[in-house]
Amino acid sequence: MSTASRLPGIVTTDHVFQVPLDHQAPEGEQIEVYAREVVASGREGDDLPWLLFLQGGPGGKANRPVGRDGWLVRALDDYRVLLLDQRGTGRSTPATRQTLARRGGARQQADYLAHFRADSIVRDAELIRRRLLGADGRWTLLGQSFGGFCTLTYLSVAPEGLREAFVTGGLAGLRSSADDVYRTAYPRVARKNSAHYARYPQDVAAVRRIAAHLIETPAQLPDGGLLTVRAFQALGLMLGSGSGSHALHHLLEEAWVEGVDGPELSDTFLAGVQAQLSFAGGPLYAVLHESIYGQRSVDVAGTRWAAERVREEFPEFDAEAALKSGAPVLFTGEMIYPWLFETDPALQPLRETAQLLAERTDWPDLYDPERLAANQVPVVAAVYHDDMYVDTADSLETGRAVQGLRAWVTNEWEHDGLRASGGQVLDHLIKMARGEL
C-alpha cells in the first residue's frame, strides 16, 4: 500500500516493490525495493512525465527531501520524480553486517552481494517502470556519479525504457579495469592535495603533526574504530566536493586540546573524523566499491584490491616517508583498502566477504559498446573537468563512444555539482536536451 505525505512544496508517496534477487531466476528469492515518488504540491493529479533518479555510490540510498529544495526545485517544474533506494540501501531490503549475518558464512554473503551491482539495479528499475508506467511507458533517467554508471548499463540493457537520460559526473570508462581507474586517480588526488595546501598552507604542518602522532599512537574513535595514519589520510575523500577542502581545514583546526598529560587529539576532532570515515550508515559502499569496475572482459583476474596494489606505484602517498623527507603528507581519495575492514567496526564482520568479492573473476560485463555506439536515446552529460572521483579523459572517451551523447564540460562545479548548484546543473542539461543551448 502506498503512503502519501505532505512536506513544504511537495507531496511524496512511498512505493515498495517485490523484485527477484537474481533476475536470471525470477521465480526464486524475492527482495524489496523501496522508492519515493515526489511531485510538486498542487500537481499530484497532473499527467507529468516521470524522472527516475539513481543516486551515487555504490551503496548510497536516495536523498531524503524535506521540501522542494536542491535539484528538485528544477526537476519538479517538469517531472514527477522517483527517488530509488537501490537494492540493499535505505528502505530497500538492507545489506549490512547485521542482516548479512543471517545468510550464513562469508561465501553465502558474497554470492548474495554479487547480485547488487548496476546490472541488477537496472533490471529492478525496469520492473518498477512497467508496474508504474505500463509496458509502453518510458521515463527520463538522471544518474549522479555511480548512478551515471548505471545509466550506461541501462542504455546497454534496456534503452527501450528511456525517453532521455541525464548524467552528472558519471561517465565511466567502458573498458577501464579497476587498476586503470586507480592508476589515473592517484595523480588527480595528488593535485587536489596541492590545491588544498595552496589554499590553506598552515595545514601542511597541522597534518604532519597529526600523522606523526598517529604513527606512534593510533587513536580510538568514539565507536571503537581505530584511527591509524592511513585511516587519517582517507579523509581526502572530502577533497572531491565543492566545499570539502574548507570542511577538512575546519576539522583540522580543532584537532588538539590540552589534556592532563599534555596535548591530545580532541573529542571534537575524533567525532568529526568518525562522521567522515565510518561506513556504519553505508557498508555496501566499501564492500562493493571495486566490484563496480569488475567485468570479465577487463578484470580477468578479479579486482584484487586494486587501490591498495596500485598505491605502491605512488610513493608520495607514504606518510612515513613524507615525514622523513619533510614533504607534505598527502591524503588519499575515493579508495577502499582491505585494512578498512580491520579498523571500522561496521566492516569488521564483512572482512572475509569483501575478500571473496575482491577475488571474484566471473563478473559479467556491464556495458555493451556496440549497442551504445548505435544508441538512439537522447543523452546529455555534465563532465566536471576537475572531478576527483571520475577521470575526465575516460568520461570524454565514453561520451564519444555513445552515439548522440552531448557532453557539457565545466570546471564551475565539482563532483557534487548536481546537489550543490541548487538545480543549475540540471537546468543546463534540460536546456541542452531541448536544444535551447
Neighbours of 15 (CB within 10 A): 17
| DSSP labels, 29-68 | -EEEEEEEEEEETT-TTS-PPEEEEE-SSSSPPPP--SSS
Dig out the grid coordinates for 1 from the structure.
500500500
User: 11 near 41, Cβ under 8 Å?
Assistant: yes
Asked whether the beta carbons of 167 and 381 are under 8 A apart, the reply is yes
Which residue carries 571500522 as its cell? 344
Spot the catalytic one: 145, 156, 241, 278.
145
Contact status, residue 274 vs residue 260, Cβ threshold 8 Å: no
pLDDT at 24: 95
CA-nearest of 264, 280, 268 to 223 is: 280
pLDDT tens, residue by residue, 95-142: 999 999 999 999 999 999 999 999 999 999 999 999 999 999 999 999
Is 124 a residue of the active site? Answer: no
Annotated catalytic residue, options 46, 47, 136, 362: 362
Average pLDDT of the chain is: 96
Cα distance between residue 309 and residue 326, in whole Å: 25
CB 354 within 8 A of CB 204: no
Q: What mean pLDDT comes out for the span 414-434?
A: 96
Decide: helix, strand or coil at residue 379: strand
CB contact at 8 A, 394 and 184: yes
Task: Answer yes or no: are the C-beta atoms of 234 and 226 closer than 8 Å.
Answer: no
> Which are the contacts of 28, defined by CB distance < 8 A and separation ≥ 6?
20, 21, 22
Q: Active site includes 78? A: no
Checking if the pLDDT of 1 tops 70, the result is no
Say which range, 57-61, 126-130, 298-302, 426-430, has the weakest mean pLDDT. Answer: 298-302
List the grid coordinates of 331. Answer: 591524503
DSSP label of 279 = -
Question: What's the rounded Cα separation, in Å, for the pair 215 and 210?
Answer: 9
Neighbours of 315 (CB within 10 A): 9
> Does 337 score more than 70 pLDDT?
yes
Which pLDDT score, from 0 to 100, does residue 300 have?
Answer: 73
Flag whether pLDDT at 430 surpasses 70: yes
Within 8 A by CB and 6+ apart from 408, the residues are: 380, 381, 382, 383, 428, 429, 432
Q: Are 193 and 330 in contact (CB under 8 A)?
A: yes
Residues 6+ apart with CB under 8 A from 201: none
Residue range 270-287, pLDDT digits in tens? 999 999 999 999 999 999
State the CB neighbour count (10 A cutoff) for residue 356: 17
Alpha helices in 261-336 (DSSP H): 267-277, 283-288, 306-311, 319-325
pLDDT tens-place string over residues 193-204:
999 999 999 999
Active site residue 261: no
> Residue 297: pLDDT band by 50, 70, 90 thresholds?
confident
Q: What is the pTM of this model?
A: 0.96
At 437, is the pLDDT very low, low, confident or very high (cuts 50, 70, 90)? Answer: confident
Confidence of residue 2 (pLDDT cuts 50, 70, 90): low
Inform me whether the pLDDT recorded for 299 exceeds 80: no
CA angle 312, 395, 128 (to 5 degrees): 110
**405 to each of 69, 389, 408, how far by Cα in Å?**
28, 21, 10
Which residue out of 196, 213, 415, 428 is catalytically annotated? 415
Nearest to 7 by CA among 81, 91, 74, 69: 69
Which own/partner pairs from 111-115 qualify as long-range (CB within 8 Å, at least 24 positions apart)? 112/21, 113/88, 113/284, 113/287, 113/288, 113/353, 113/357, 114/291, 114/357, 114/360, 114/363, 115/21, 115/22, 115/87
Q: Can you give the pLDDT at residue 258?
A: 94
Written as nine digits, the cell of 69 is 529544495
Using an 8 Å Cβ cutoff, are 93 and 31 in contact? yes
d(CA 31, CA 27): 12
- Helix pair angle (392-401, 178-199), 10° resolution: 130
Per-residue cell: 159: 534503452
Q: What is the pLDDT of residue 4?
A: 86
DSSP-derived letter for residue 16 is E
- Per-residue pLDDT at 301 exceeds 90: no
Digit-coded pLDDT (tens) for 168-223: 999 999 999 999 999 999 999 999 999 999 999 999 999 999 999 999 999 999 99
| CA 53, chain centre distance (Å) | 13
Q: 2 and 14 in contact (C-beta within 8 Å)? A: yes
In angstroms, rounded to a whole number, what is the distance separating the alpha carbons of residues 432 and 167? 12
Query: Could you give the CA distance from residue 393 to residue 17 in angstroms, rounded to a whole number?
Result: 38
